[in-house]
Amino acid sequence: MTMFAREKWLRSSLLAALLLTAGAAAQAEVRLARIFSDHAVLQRGQAIAVWGWARPGEPVQVDFNQQSGRGSADAHGRWRVLLKPEAAGGPYTLTVRGDNTVSVKDVLVGEVWLASGQSNMELNVGQSNDAAREVAQSNWPLIRHFKVAKTMAWQAADDIGPGQWQVSSPASSAEFSAVGYFFARKLQQELGVPIGIINASWGGSNLETWLSADALAAHPTLALAPLPVNLDAFRERYRNRMQDLVAAWQPGVAPADDSTVPWQQPELDDSAWTTLHAPQYWEEQGLEDLDGVLWYRRAIELTAPQAAAAATLHLGMIDDCDESYVNGRRVGASCGWDTPRHYALAPGLLKPGNNVLAVRVTDTGGGGGFHGAAAAMRLQTGSDSIALAGDWKARVESPSQKEQLTPNDLPTLLFNAMISPLTDFPVRGVLWYQGESNVTRAHQYAQTFPLLIKDWRRQWQQPQLPFYFVQLASFLPLEKNSLAGSNWAELREAQRQTLQLPGTGMVVATDIGDANDIHPRNKQAVGMRLALHALKNEYGHRQLVASGPLYRSLRRRGAQLELSFTDVGRGLVTADGGVLRGFTLADERRQFLPAQACIEGSKVIVWHPAMAHPQAVRYGWVDNAEESNLANRDGLPASPFRSDDWPGLTDQARYRY
């Protein structure tokens, strides 16, 4: 995968994934699809599809509220009965009669939303801000949550993995999707009807794994080759691709087993090694999708007093495991992508003059290498702190052999197992929080994200299925911001461009991010902002302002640019009441400089004292845009944007599998 989703995926065995595609018809007794369990919520106002499996040819009757429907199992044992739409209400019992009888109790009818994406959608209430208080106050019997089991499948599966609807209470809510729960709570408070959240999310997943095979095949830049049909075929393809990648990344470097000097030893000549910046994931630096083992080396000069002082090596966070050496001696080892490394050094280990640090990193999936705050990487010797962030020599020892699949190894894996089996289950709309794992392919995301939305609408046979999503929050230390370009800004732009599709809405989250945590904990604000879109567009609350300011156009006023926006609500303001920040300008040289800006009514005026002919303006166009402070009086922040279409950092990056 690309970069970083800050957690390591659960490993699912291939056997478990393949079992999902096994026909359920082998079971003689009638049974329901797993989405139908006690405490379920069914979508009001839409025809209710009920399905399952039984003996081929077996007659089946479905009873619900005042309705009855009949059908029979086909040659593969699958049956499906369609009931008329119901108004909000319940609880009811859903009964299925065949050779045996199955009853599902405490079923409600209300509003059902599918919540999907990666870790920021998966992050639960127990991990959000004020978690203890939120869980203690979560007694909402009309809010229900279904967590779709994390499973993968080579082909579209018949059913999802085991799961069960849960009623919101202090005993259960800690494990609910925090975004989904806070969204549901706001809707339930406003609408007074049951709310169901189906949580189909997987931390670290890229967008492509959520696409169907049909969508993949129809896209000219994604349909690269036939998908492998089994694990052996995948392993061979991955091995060949990684060999080519590594050879291109470190050209002319001899194979690892040709080295006569151990790579941790100070006397090793590493002049031919490639350079990696730290802290920064190696996937962002030319080693996209590489899992395996890589070495970092760095030399530092110490004075005699520094070498003699008590010392601790601080390496920050390393994804996933490290073995760390100083002057050839092993000083520590740890595993855990989010575990800060602190290694006390024995007296006499350091010496005046040149000292060599070597770190062997093993990445088991997702992002690899040093990450987090630059200040966390330092050598503390007495009262002196020597910065270790910056360029390190690096060399790949060996790519992973890929004994197991991960969700990002191939497209369609999560769609097949976690989405396709649900497409007969009516939902009101989709909530989506994903994109961190696609930032190195941000330009392509402007194509693939609309493709996913259209694909899911087609799968549910709802051409206008509401689709509300969260723009990436601010992340990474402020000192890493660069006006020369930003992958994160380009991904946010791709998300903003997706608003061209009807029936979509976007939550801006740059004001509630965390520089050092890709999982910001203020999910209350995210859920609330998503709910504003739903309330305004789906439930008739037209008076609500659901979006912050969105850039529309500019007009030149001499050396100034006058910017116009949509969604200004009750007017433009700075969120913190201070001077307007976050704008940059460039002239024909295309070098952006911090600009001055002010609000004039519903416009923003931008200028630079030394720039007579500005050609382009950007706002919040950095990794961490938390200091950008344009908002409307309704408390919603403006989306980052740019007026130019100059080449970006990710224009040539493409998905590979």
Residue 222, pLDDT > 90, answer no
Amino acid 20: pLDDT? 41
Give CA–CA dist 651/440, Å, rounded.
Answer: 10
Amino acid 366: pLDDT? 77
Amino acid 405: pLDDT? 87
Q: Is pLDDT larger for residue 401 or for residue 74?
A: 74
Amino acid 220: pLDDT? 82
Q: Is the peptide bond before 194 cis (omega within 30 degrees of 0)?
A: no
Here the tokens at position 574 are 């700075």
Q: How many other C-beta atoms are found inside a 10 Å radius of the C-beta of residue 26?
A: 8
Backbone phi, psi, residue 549, to 5°? -60, 135
Here the tokens at position 598 are 């002010």
Among 14-28, 414-428, 497-511, 531-545, the least confident range = 14-28
Confidence of residue 14 (pLDDT cuts 50, 70, 90): very low
Residue 337, pLDDT > 50, answer yes
Amino acid 309: pLDDT? 97
Residue 229, pLDDT > 50, answer yes
Domains of the chain are 14-23+109-220+410-537 (3.40.50.1110), 233-399 (2.60.120.260), 550-638 (no CATH)
Mean confidence (pLDDT) of the chain: 93
pLDDT digits 0-9 by tens, 181-206: 999 999 999 999 999 999 999 999 99
Amino acid 80: pLDDT? 98
Amino acid 173: pLDDT? 98
Query: Which residue, chain included where needed, has tokens 């040819």?
Result: 57
Give CA–CA dist 228/176, Å, rounded.
Answer: 35
pLDDT digits 0-9 by tens, 166-180: 999 999 999 999 999
Amino acid 258: pLDDT? 64
Confidence of residue 28 (pLDDT cuts 50, 70, 90): low
Those residues with Cβ within 8 angstroms of residue 543's Cβ, 6 or more apart along the chain or in another chain: none
Listed residue (97, 103, 100) closest to 40, CA to CA: 103
pLDDT digits 0-9 by tens, 528-538: 999 999 999 99
Residue 448, pLDDT > 70, answer yes
